[in-house]
Structure 1
């Protein structure tokens, strides 16, 4: 069933070329058929707004994290007298190329050597799970890394497993505490004023409570 659903989504993506340009894709509304039924697979959005309230714009950048370790392949390095086999970790939720191409050649996952790079968001769209607009839909991000096109198969799992890093996400509690300690060290060293420290403390406190 899952394979059939994925195949359907890939097929729909392959035929989505022309559509209107819209403002914001709200991830929290993607399970609301009354909202998603307004849009076609070919429609493109200028901004995507995530569940945590953060957003990223078209032509903005998102960082590639590291492979989640659930997908690997072997790389054979052939020498003059012998060869070595290395295990290479691949990304599980990021694929090379556009989704429609996977219908013809299968999915090629992003290799590990692209980790840590900044990827430009070149498309933000909503893809329906069925042939009708009156079906559940999910956001799809198309990225570009050094002129290489990358499709995000599941943005939520990519974030949760560290394969994608949202630069605009809210700071978590641990990060806020670490940042506050750093500011205190700077204050003790005389690198910032007490007023600057208190301003930063007030800003960070909302993430610590």
Structure 2
């Protein structure tokens, strides 16, 4: 009987992760081989808990951060003094390394790839944009025995387009967070942010804007984060 129960539990667990849609997934799940090996590429996720503890679902809001990369374009600028050699001008501009324009695997992307063109990375003009989560999917970082990465399709809050593109895509959410290119509005404070907030609260108390009781309450909330005991 015990063996039968274990078998039924195993089959139920396998069935859950064999679906095309998962109600809830965590970052720990994406790194756990007992879980991610049972999940197929392009499985839709309805709710996700990230490595920093942020919890979000479809329709929630994210903010585009700061581009972490640069792209350099070099163009000819006429002939030089030496025969056969022309002058060239190079111009560098910031761009996002983990955010691309459009869908990550749409028809246009496939056609561009066949033509030898890389997907268009979002440029610095997208910095600070408020976006909504239109879709979340996971894909293996290689074979099915590799961990999963979360891919997020981003929409414009009012249903408008980002220039020529209806959507943008975060190709690896956790990597994007580490690069500072995307952030969740409800993300927990990190240590540096907690220290800054505590200092600000102390200044407000010294100015008489914040009373001592309120400051002590804030201090009690932030101390575990600052001491890495959260």
TM, length-normalised to structure 1: 0.74
Who is 2:35 aligned against? 35
Superposed CA deviations along residues 49-85 of structure 1, whole A, max 9, x for unmatched, are: 112222222211111112112434479xxxxxxxx98
Who is 1:142 aligned against? 153
Unaligned runs of 5+ residues in structure 1 are: 1-18, 76-83
Taking a change above 3 Å as real, the CA distance of residues 74 and 64 of structure 1, as seen in their structure-2 partners, is farther
Who is 2:102 aligned against? 97
Who is 1:173 aligned against? 191
Alpha-carbon RMSD? 2.6
Answer whether contact 2:98 2:171 (CA < 8 A) is retained.
yes
Who is 2:180 aligned against? 162
Taking a change above 3 Å as real, the CA distance of residues 72 and 143 of structure 1, as seen in their structure-2 partners, is farther
**Which of 108, 113, 124 is the matching residue for 2:120?**
108
In structure 1, how many angstroms separate the alpha carbons of the residues matched to 2:141 and 2:222?
A: 40
Report the 3-state secondary structure (helix = DSSP H, G, I; strand = E; otherwise coil) of the residue aligned with 1:204: helix
**Which of 202, 205, 217 is the matching residue for 1:187?**
205
In structure 2, how many angstroms separate the alpha carbons of the residues matched to 1:41 and 1:28?
A: 17
In structure 2, how many angstroms separate the alpha carbons of the residues matched to 1:138 and 1:200?
A: 35
Bigger-Rg structure (1/2) = 2
Who is 1:78 aligned against? none
Who is 2:81 aligned against? none
In structure 1, how many angstroms separate the alpha carbons of the residues matched to 2:145 and 2:172?
A: 21
How far off is 1:37 after superposition? 4.1
Answer whether contact 2:131 2:154 (CA < 8 A) is retained.
yes
Report which structure shows greater RCO (CA 8 Å, sep ≥6): 1
